[in-house]
Structure 1
Amino acid sequence: MNIDQVRNYCLSKPHTTEHFPFDENTLVFKVAGKMFALTPLDKWDKGEASINLKANPEYSIKLRAIYKSIEPGFHMNKKHWNSIYLYKGELDANLIMELIDHSYAMVVNGLSKKARISLGL
């Protein structure tokens, strides 16, 4: 997947917004004001594409054991975030989209019932 495909897929999720809260380089995707994905844009230009995604801790352990391209989240809480190194070519687009879906779902499921209802989720 390229950056446009990742961006479009993230933005296709209901109520997703994009931001640059840290700097002009780190693109962050949020649902209801909470991050579910972030990616350093300069790495895409250098052929070192990566994306950080939230994940269930038990699922993270399994993913990290199976895929060399999935590591504890760089500059993130290592228990709840993974860095997905897309440039290594190990992961296909379907798996990347599943990981984005999982991250999005983790954030949505962590919202209060009232917030989920108000968003229609």
Structure 2
Amino acid sequence: MDIEKYRKYCLSKKQATESFPFPSLPNILVFKVVDKMFTATDVNTFESFSIKHDPDTIDNLRSKFDAVTNHTYFSNKHWSKLLMDKSIPDKILFELLDTSYNLTVAKLTKKTRNEMGL
């Protein structure tokens, strides 16, 4: 996966938006759904990207792929960093982005989901 495929896929998600919200980290591109982040990456390097994950299944994924690592800035219980070293097939990367997006949508209120058509 390259950054253009990543960006296009993230923006294909319903109500997804992109921004650079961190003034002290101007290269960090964040994708959100209704102002809730579901993934982020450094646009200059695209060495990795961050995802939300299911705390009950992440240990299994981490045991299969060394490129699924603990996150530096976010809770390791709910977030992981995926290293873009080509060891994880694109199909799985897309599935992990789906999971991150779906977990984020699930945390929105029912009213917000209905209003946004999610």
CA distance in 2, matches of 1:101, 1:91: 15
Structure 2 counterpart of 1:100, from 97, 100, 111: 97
Query: 1:5: Cα distance to partner?
Result: 0.4
TM-score (norm 2): 0.94
- The residue number in structure 2 matching 1:14 is 14
Which stretches of structure 1, 4 residues or longer, exceed 6 Å deviation after superposition?
A: none
> Number of aligned pairs?
116
CA distance in 2, matches of 1:60, 1:76: 15
User: How far does the alpha carbon of each residue in 1:48-102 deviate from its partner, in whole angstroms, 9 at most, with x for none?
Assistant: x20000001112111111110101122111110010001x211111110000000
* SS of residue in 2 equivalent to 1:17: strand
- The residue number in structure 1 matching 2:37 is 35
* SS of residue in 1 equivalent to 2:45: helix
Structure 1: tracts of 5 or more residues without a match: none
Query: 1:15: Cα distance to partner?
Result: 0.2
**Cα RMSD between the aligned structures?**
0.9
Structure 2: tracts of 5 or more residues without a match: none
CA distance in 1, matches of 2:10, 2:112: 20
TM-score (norm 1): 0.92
More helix by share: 1
